[in-house]
Amino acid sequence: MNGEEKLELARERVIEAISQNMNLYGVTESIGRLYGALYFQEGPLTLDDMKDELGMSKTSMSTSVRSLLELKMVGKVWKKGVRKDLYQAEPDWYQTFIDFFSIKWRTGISINVSAMEKSLTELQSLTEDDNVDSKIKEEAIMDIEKLTGAIEYYDWLNRLVDSFESKEIFQFIPKKKE
């Protein structure tokens, strides 16, 4: 095996691991492969370049790039004299982690807290309604306690995400062991 083959094998191993790992977080393996391939590129690529590199259709490639842009894992790059959009992987894995998880966590927090707050209002009205059976009122009170505890958790999770976005987390867990 020559040097070029060894280099390709080493890169492919990492790209495959990235694609499998991203699949665990709800990102398709093909999008993970695209990110991995872009990570090892020396410079930005066009959609056509990526299509040729990975053998995916242009439509699939465009959808994958859009997903990576939304997750802030790739960015558009401007280059003088190039008319087509160029894309490059975000090289800072700490920032990629922060952006990826912040986006995912904030979405989950928002959906769950919204549903819980609506339910809390409905449950509270049940406890105040004289026409509701006492057993139902007791269950509503228990549900209110459960949801109040869950909302406290989501407040904590929001503050955790804040600490990632502000980079305050690195005061508690430094990037490198010291």
* CATH code of the region 3-90: 1.10.10.10
Spell out the domain ranges in the chain.
Answer: 3-90, 94-172
Residues 6+ positions from 170 with CB-CB distance below 8 Å = none
Instruction: Record the pTM.
Output: 0.76
pLDDT tens digits for 66-111? Answer: 999 998 899 998 888 888 889 999 989 899 889 988 998 999 999 9
- Minimal CA–CA distance to 77: which of 38, 27, 22? 38
pLDDT tens digits for 114-147? Answer: 999 999 999 999 999 999 999 999 999 999 999 9
Per-residue pLDDT at 175: 92
